Amino acid sequence: MYTQTLYKVLNDHVKPKILKRMNRYKKWEYGYNEDHDMIVISKTGQIGDIYEIQNLKIALPLKDNVHVFEKNKWTRFNYPKVLSRIKTVFDWREYPEDFKQNE
């Protein structure tokens, strides 16, 4: 049976104590981290999973506020009725600035 070998998730690359502390204070800096030999692509200062792809270690952003779809299908979100009246960008430009900031 074929096993996928393109990537693997590293659970022990960074010690859990260090990971928890750095995420708590949002201390992970975007870019290459020499101390842990990995690339951080999170701009929030927190990292989640660390993947290794051909000896390149990539720290992904922390999963936060993830929407789960029902039955693995897209669902339509209802938006305010006021926005349904806007048909073109010219209609949008006629609205006042405080309205645009709220929506």
Q: pTM of the full predicted structure?
A: 0.63
The whole-chain average pLDDT of the chain stands at 89
pLDDT band at 66 (very low <50, low <70, confident <90, very high): confident
- The mean per-residue pLDDT over the stretch 67-75 comes to 78
- Sorted by where each begins, the domain ranges of the chain are 7-61, 70-102
pLDDT per position as a tens digit, 21-43: 999 999 999 999 999 999 999 99
- The mean per-residue pLDDT over the stretch 1-18 comes to 91
What's the helix, strand, coil split of the chain in %, to 5?
A: 25, 20, 50
- What sign for the dihedral angle of Cα 16, 23, 49, 72? positive
